[in-house]
Amino acid sequence: MASPNLSNAAAIVGAAEADVIGYREELTGHKATSLQLHIEAINNVSQYTGIPISDIQGVFSAGWTGELAEHLGIHPRYLDTTSVGGCSFQIHVHHALAAIHAGIIDIALVSHGEAGWSYRGGGGGGGGRGGAQISPGAEMTMAYGTFGAPSQYAHAMVRHFHDYGTTLEDFAHIAVVTRDWAQLNPRAVMYGKAQSPFGGPITVQDVVDARIIAWPLTLYNCCLVTDHGGAVIVARPEIARDLATNPVWITGAGESIGHQNMVEMEDFTATSASRSSATAYEMAGLGADDMEMAMIYDSFTITAAITAEMLGLAPRGKGYTLWKNGDAAQGGRLPINTSGGGLSFNHSGMYGMQLLVEAYRQLSRTAEDGVNGIEGKQTNATTCIVNGTGGTLSTTGTLVLTSDDR
Amino acid sequence: MAYNKPVPPQGQHTKPFWDGAKDGKLMLPKCNDCGAVHWYPRLICPYCHSTNLRWIEGSGLGRIHTFAVQHRAFGGWAEDVPYVTAYIDLDEGDRMMTVLRGVDGNKPEDIKIGARVKVEFEQGNDDTYIPFWRVTEEA
């Protein structure tokens, strides 16, 4: 199959978040609704870019597109409600790139709003099926006492131990390095003790000794549960160049799926990111060795480690070494999750938008605005691979982004 | 004591499985064209896309593929923490989820990937007997 050349056919021209994110009720005195988080972020990205909301021609969201368009009073001619978990937003960007390349639209909005903390305990997560039908996958697994993502992802870590001889200490380095990045992001939930009693720097021993959630996953191996809203706008190059903001080029994109239910996961130490990244690298004409930064969905330390392996950033079984040897850390060769990640910055249930916003900030040279990043956070990376993982290591969306000054 | 954990509602095309479970049999879907056994039950063979499927009585034997120990649970399961969830490689092929019997969740280091397991059934309600797997020997 011939691959159409979508490379650089569109750019992300701005990114913004809701006015207040994190523990919204504690910060404002009010719960946030998901719609509210969406609308604030959309409004902010509109103001940031100078693109009026009325100029948005395509709306891409994980199930919210109709409600958002109606709420905004706009009539977009491209609707996408792809809702496949936390990687949905990487996939939305891919779809927006294709729609722009095809000439269907010029300006696309990708939006996320998720009151993960305000409405915690409600079951949340990547989109409902609706109706009273039960899928056979759920029918044959619901009896077995798993509760949420940690209870499932733990199985992958045990298999990784078995196949590669890795240990909890190895994975703990991911949590420690990611927490260090959070010290440069004042909006990170784990920025310090003022934000959370669990905040501030942690050690490998802290991670290993923390409360067990689902063995072998201890608390610090698991992502946060927070509120978040975020949005990015994608536009064709002629528009991107006329704006005051720095464009970040979508140089490669790909998506794929391994399974929906974990019982169908063929290899418990592999995800479809091998395929989605292969597509993205091919489109970009770049490879893993060309990546100078990575934004890797870190729902759990195991997710980050496996994904690094799937993206070709480290050999199979050795993903954790990127963090352990300092490559992923401040000043390292390949900074990873410079916002503080899902582990220490913010994770609302679907973390893909947070990855996108931080990738935009880094590559547009706006990572140190004092609010979302302080001195030391901005890197000089000109290429960044962004990989979202949805479900139970199920679906993946990969983007290869490049800076305008590359 | 009545079973106090979630009991699956029976779906549209899985009756032979649940009927077998009531009789202590592990019924598995098998493709008449490619011969592969698959799990969970499909309307079409996930390997060759044939719809020429039948149910066979499985051996009820398998091995641990991977596992985890659940320390955080709700409802009836909360009484059982720490309990061990696992994925079982069936002798007939493909994989099934379960909660392991005959293991100690406080000693995960004693649980071995590859260990032999055998199916057993527990009554959930009048119609539904739920398969669980018991470790029978070391890996």
Give the model confidence (pLDDT) of A259-270 as tens digits.
888 999 999 999
pLDDT of residue A130: 27
Q: Is the pLDDT of residue A129 over 50?
A: no
pLDDT of residue B46: 87
Nearest to A263 among B68, B97, B108 (CB): B97
What's the topology of domain A11-122+224-403?
A: Peroxisomal Thiolase; Chain A, domain 1 (3.40.47)
Reported pTM? 0.90
Return the SS3 of A109.
Answer: strand
Chain B CB contacts of A144 below 8 Å: 85, 97-99
**Pairing label, strands A58-61, A107-115:** parallel
Task: Give the closest residue to A271 by CA, choosing from A306, A301, A299.
Answer: A306
- Chain B residue nearest residue A152, CA to CA: B68
What is the mean predicted confidence (pLDDT) over A88-99?
A: 96
What is the mean predicted confidence (pLDDT) over B34-43?
A: 93
What string of DSSP letters covers A320-371? THHHHTTTTSTT-SS-B-TT-IIIII---S--HHHHHHHHHHHHTT-S-SSS
Nearest to A136 among B11, B82, B87 (CB): B11
A21 vs A29: CA distance, rounded Å? 13
Nearest to A147 among B66, B72, B80 (CB): B72
Q: Are A246 and A404 in contact (CB under 8 A)?
A: yes
Of the listed ranges A125-129, A364-368, A375-379, B131-135, the least confidently predicted one is A125-129
Residue of B5, B39, B66, B128 best to disrupt the A interface, most CBs of A under 10 A: B66
Q: Are A229 and A18 in contact (CB under 8 A)?
A: yes
Q: Å from A25 to nearest chain B CA?
A: 25
Task: Give the closest residue to A339 by CA, choosing from A319, A363, A357, A321.
Answer: A357
**Higher confidence at residue A36 or residue A361?**
A361
Instruction: Tell me if chain B has a CB within 8 Å of the CB of A214.
Output: yes
Q: Is the pLDDT of residue A320 over 70?
A: yes
**Pairing label, strands A217-218, A212-215:** antiparallel
Q: Which CATH architecture has domain B15-137?
A: Beta Barrel (2.40)
**Which ipTM score applies to this complex?**
0.93
Nearest to B73 among A140, A142, A147 (CB): A147
Terminal Cα-to-Cα distance of chain A (whole angstroms): 30
Helix (H) or strand (E) holding A170: helix A168-182
B127 vs A356: CA distance, rounded Å? 49
Domain chopping of chain B, boundaries: 15-137
- Chain A residue nearest residue B87, CA to CA: A263
Q: Are B7 and B125 in contact (CB under 8 A)?
A: yes
Percent of chain A with pLDDT over 70: 96
Q: Å from A217 to nearest chain B CA?
A: 9
Chain A CB contacts of B9 below 8 Å: 134, 139
Mean pLDDT of chain A: 93
Q: Are A61 and A81 in contact (CB under 8 A)?
A: yes
